[in-house]
A and B are shown apart, each in its own frame.
Chain A
Amino acid sequence: MLDKILPYLLAGVSVGGQYALIAIGYTMVYGILRLINFAHGDIFTVAGFVMVYAAATMPLSVSIPLTIVLTVILGVLVEKVAYRPLRSAPRMSVMISAIGMSYLLQNSMWYLTGGLAKQYPVLPWISDRVNVAGTTTSRVTIITPFLTILLVAALVLLIKRTKIGMAMRAASRDFETAQLMGIKINNVISFTFVVGSFLAAVGSMLYFSNYATVTPTVGAMPGLKAFVAAVFGGIGSIPGAVIGGFIIGICESLIKGSGLTTFSDAFTFALLIVILAVKPTGLFGENLTEKV
């Protein structure tokens, strides 16, 4: 029994860790701006493409940091161009802008890459096959959960212990008051996008090492699922997003294992609708009272 489930469980934990890394970007941005950053999934894809092109011409020791840096720059740029001018606009406008940005990024990627699926470079060591309890799997499967937890621990420390982390907490608690207290809100938001994009870049390396090909629209689905993970864990909560990511990853993988592959995506969204109907604040979300 266990040896049948184990490969799916391992794959689930791995993909769950990747969702978690993307979900953090969603949950942090939502925590501060109250905005679903629809372009986040596409930033994740761009990271995949940058890696494809960078690794073709440069050694990995250069291309990995380059990918991360470019992704971070893109994330910050998206915020500056598409969200900052609409800071005082109604929430719907900002969301539409996010959707437009996602559309733009997808179309640009299609144009620049010719729309064909690109082979993701093989990262040595982490792509190696290893034996775990009788099943072979690539090392990235094993590493992902640990790397995820390590990164999250670092992030939590950053938010709890540093000055910029304190500013982020203040901004997510109350945007306007934080501004009045002398917090440079634009810097805080930019920093949030830096962290989110950094984690998306790392997540994309792990994800594409498993899936091997990158296409312009490949990020849309993991992006949406990561968002569901963020909602499931309680939007604005980082541990919530991580736990949500792992739960969704594992469930999805087990559903695939039971032969109902068509429903693995549907399950995620059914879970979303159930959690929104039963407990809209998610597992760890704070209860916001709506003011009239």
Chain B
Amino acid sequence: MIKKNDHKKAWIALMIAVAVLVLVGALDNLPHVPSMLLTVLQKGAIYALVAVSMNLLNGFTGLFSLGQAGFMLLGAYTYAVLTVPVERQASVYQRYEGGGLGFSVTQSLGNSMGQFGVFLGVVLCLILAGCVAGFFAWLIGLPVLKLKSDYLAIATLGFAEIIRAVVMYEELGPVTNGSNLLYGFTNFTDFHLGSLKLTTVMPFLFAGLCILVVVLLINSTYGRAFKAIRDDEVAAEAMGINLAKHKRMSFMISSFFAGISGALLAMFQASVQASAFKAAMTYEILLIVVIGGIGSITGSVIASFLFVGCSEWGLRFLDNETTLKNFDAKVKFAVIFGILIAAVVAFGLLSMKRKGEKLITRAAQGRPTVRWGAVLGLAVAAIALLWDVWFVISPRLKLPLLRSGFRMVVFSVVIMIMVLFFREGIMGDKELWDLGKKKRSAKAKAGVGNE
């Protein structure tokens, strides 16, 4: 009975996956598709994989690690070094006489087997990239995994910095090209099926497969052991779970996929430079995980696309200085802005009401308690509305505040609001496919209560 059900689910999942790939492939090849959309999709898929790999560690095993950028760096460099075409190595490694490996995996395979060989080479190098990251995770895990929460975080963060310094080391230049760019290697634009472009399909395919593996892992015995460790280490150990082994495993698997995603990121950018993989990158990924919900794979995926979409595309207009054309445009803008503010306020008040909170709670005795955060929010909204009205009346046409950098400020304010007030993130620790289930079980519970 259960098995039959599982089969059905697997079929549905496969159909959805194929549908998504076909859709993405269509977007790749149709004319008039904005190139920004494709960029967002590609980068979003890659970030989804990193976010999921980080979630496996932070959300499912309860190990707070901040080394993701370091492992991505390892993966990216492994991939790039292995696939720079032989004839381009001289120009890429121009600062290092005789630099480069002297061979290129994708090129050799491509020469002997054509397009399929290139694909095979890329898969091979991706796996190698993951393995290198996983190996270093094993190495660093030996001393570090014994540490508790924030010590682990800072040690892994430090490790990522060490990796960066080593890769940029001058003596390793003939292999890593020191602190210079690596470029020219096989990237997503090199994939074709006949005359069909597969630029966006490829990251979806690779990231999707990896995420699938993570999902299967989480639903296996190991995944349950990870969750047990997260929920209570001592209890998990008492149940016979080998803490050291499972932590190491989770750390290595997470790093493996971080390595792969690093390689994918290198392919996406078509170039790679060690100085980009800073702690700030890890922080960004962590914030994605938090927005999506710590302990939710689908949450991480959704949040990645949202994050990349907003930062690359949706909020771009905030970075441009804008002067409205005429009075009509101004009125239009003011109305939209006002509705936006009103919607935010309404949403806030509704969610407060749902939680049974009030602005001012009158106690039977003593001073009433006031929710200063909510009051402050209302005040800000009121000021924004007043400004809106003033803006319509005033003769100015130039929108204030909008200039380079404003996008990231708005973005980080939104993230702070999420972190402070919506700590569960978009999905909490639920998955997309749990949503229907939860409602049903809640109904069932309510039914039992009524009886």
Say whether A103 contacts B143, CB under 8 Å. no
Interface string of B136-174 (1 = CB under 8 A from A): 000010011011111101110111011011101110000
Residues of A within 8 A of B80 (CB): none
> Count the B residues whose beta carbon is within 8 Å of the partner chain — how many?
49
A186: interface (CB < 8 Å): no
Q: Among the listed B143, B146, B290, B412, which residue makes an inter-chain contact with A96, where contact means beta carbons less than 8 Å apart?
A: B290
Measured CB to CB, the closest approach of chain A to B316, in angstroms, equals 15
Q: How far is the CA of A224 from the CA of B294 in the complex (A)?
A: 25
Say whether B405 contacts A89, CB under 8 Å. no
Interface centre among B144, B164, B412 (most CB of A within 10 A): B412
Say whether A36 contacts B169, CB under 8 Å. no
Say whether A114 contacts B413, CB under 8 Å. no
B279: interface (CB < 8 Å): yes
B270: interface (CB < 8 Å): no
A102: interface (CB < 8 Å): yes
Contact residue range for chain A? Answer: 35 or more
| Chain A, Cβ-Cβ closest to B417 | A100
Q: Among the listed B58, B143, B169, B416, which residue makes an inter-chain contact with A82, where contact means beta carbons less than 8 Å apart?
A: B416
Say whether B158 contacts A269, CB under 8 Å. yes
Interface string of A241-254 (1 = CB under 8 A from B): 00000000000000
Residues of B within 8 A of A164 (CB): none
Measured CB to CB, the closest approach of chain A to B287, in angstroms, equals 6
Say whether A103 contacts B158, CB under 8 Å. no
Residues of A within 8 A of B306 (CB): none
Measured CB to CB, the closest approach of chain B to A82, in angstroms, equals 7
Q: Which of B394-436 contact A (CB under 8 A)?
A: 403-406, 408-409, 411-413, 415-416, 419-420, 423
B64: interface (CB < 8 Å): yes
Also in contact, A270 and B162, with CB within 8 A (given A100-B412, A276-B155): yes
Say whether A265 contacts B165, CB under 8 Å. yes
Residues of A within 8 A of B155 (CB): 272-273, 276
B283: interface (CB < 8 Å): yes
Interface string of B154-198 (1 = CB under 8 A from A): 110111011011101110000000000000000000000000000
Q: How far is the CA of A228 from the CA of B162 in the complex (A)?
A: 14
Interface centre among A95, A104, A217, A228 (most CB of B within 10 A): A104
A101: interface (CB < 8 Å): yes
A292: interface (CB < 8 Å): yes
Measured CB to CB, the closest approach of chain A to B243, in angstroms, equals 14
Say whether A231 contacts B151, CB under 8 Å. yes
Say whether B415 contacts A100, CB under 8 Å. yes
Q: Which of B275-310 contact A (CB under 8 A)?
A: 279-280, 283-284, 286-287, 290, 294
Residues of A within 8 A of B409 (CB): 104, 107-108, 111
Q: Which of A213-242 contact B (CB under 8 A)?
A: 217, 220, 224, 227-228, 231
A1: interface (CB < 8 Å): no
Say whether A103 contacts B405, CB under 8 Å. no
Measured CB to CB, the closest approach of chain A to B291, in angstroms, equals 10
B234: interface (CB < 8 Å): yes
Q: How far is the CA of A173 from the CA of B51 in the complex (A)?
A: 37
Say whether A228 contacts B283, CB under 8 Å. no
Q: Which of A139-161 contact B (CB under 8 A)?
A: none
Residues of A within 8 A of B366 (CB): none
A181: interface (CB < 8 Å): no
Measured CB to CB, the closest approach of chain A to B432, in angstroms, equals 23
A180: interface (CB < 8 Å): no
Interface string of A77-121 (1 = CB under 8 A from B): 000011001100101110111011111101110110011000000
Residues of A within 8 A of B64 (CB): 92, 95
Measured CB to CB, the closest approach of chain A to B11, in angstroms, equals 38
Q: How far is the CA of A274 from the CA of B143 in the complex (A)?
A: 8
Say whether B420 contacts A217, CB under 8 Å. no
B373: interface (CB < 8 Å): yes
Q: Among the listed A85, A106, A273, which residue makes an inter-chain contact with B144, where contact means beta carbons less than 8 Å apart?
A: A273
Can you offer 13 A-B residue contacts whose CB atoms are under 8 A?
A89-B423, A91-B149, A91-B150, A95-B149, A99-B283, A99-B286, A103-B283, A103-B287, A103-B412, A224-B279, A265-B161, A266-B164, A272-B155
- Give the 8 A-B residue pairs with the shortest CB-CB distance, closest first: A269-B158, A111-B405, A266-B165, A277-B143, A107-B408, A104-B412, A266-B162, A100-B419
Instruction: Give residues in A with beta carbon < 8 Å to B.
Output: 34-36, 81-82, 85-86, 89, 91-93, 95-97, 99-104, 106-108, 110-111, 114-115, 217, 220, 224, 227-228, 231, 262-263, 265-266, 268-270, 272-274, 276-277, 280, 290, 292
Apart from A97-B420, A227-B154, A228-B154: 18 A-B pairs, beta carbons within 8 A: A82-B416, A85-B420, A86-B420, A93-B419, A96-B286, A100-B412, A111-B404, A262-B170, A266-B161, A266-B166, A269-B161, A272-B155, A272-B158, A273-B140, A273-B144, A280-B147, A290-B148, A292-B234
